Structure 1
């Protein structure tokens, strides 16, 4: 696949997640859509950071001056994955607590029941 095709697919995933957050009414589906969008953003970051012809940053005495991969994007992606997982877990706990008071997780029904 060409780079522009991969970028189009990644942007499609981001937009699917974005529109899922906006148009889905169930809270669980909103959380899953946010996870899809987060996955798309991480995939785009990896796509931008990917370069051909570079090697792992392991220095060997026999190697001369070659192009090494920058380890910072890898660390940023691992941090983003961990933070995304913890945010998703926190939101699911909030939905579990909300489900104790409401028989449904539809946002319109929750808003109706808590309107003064």
Structure 2
């Protein structure tokens, strides 16, 4: 059930990227989709019986692999930096254009 909600979040973000015309809304949709993908990896990686690789009182616990955790943290940082870069690009576009609608920006900047 949780996987279905996470996949619905990814789908909502993807559809927002495709159908929204406002550039800020496209960036927000990309962030929603990225959050859904990270949540999907966390959902898949969480299993019963896995312990953190620290000192434990149990005799022989099954330790969780720390490599996927590091990859997810790297993905979060890269996603944040891409989002910040896109917002800076939108701010530069907003200086020259009265609107942030992608159709209007294309119409204004197309050579005739």
User: Does 2:99 align with 1:100?
Assistant: no
- Within a 5 Å distance, the mapping from 1:1-116 to structure 2 comes to 5-59=1-55, 63-116=58-111
**Counterpart-to-counterpart distance in 2, 1:84 and 1:14:** 15
Q: TM-score, normalised by structure 2?
A: 0.94
The Cα shift of 1:115 comes to: 1.1
The Cα shift of 1:63 comes to: 4.4
The Cα shift of 1:73 comes to: 1.4
**Counterpart-to-counterpart distance in 1, 2:76 and 2:93:** 26
The Cα shift of 1:74 comes to: 1.1
Q: TM-score, normalised by structure 1?
A: 0.91
Structure 1: unaligned runs, 5 residues or longer: none
The ranges of structure 1 where at least 4 consecutive aligned residues each deviate by more than 6 angstroms after the TM superposition are none
CA RMSD between the two structures: 1.1
- SS of residue matched to 2:21: coil
The Cα shift of 1:54 comes to: 1.4
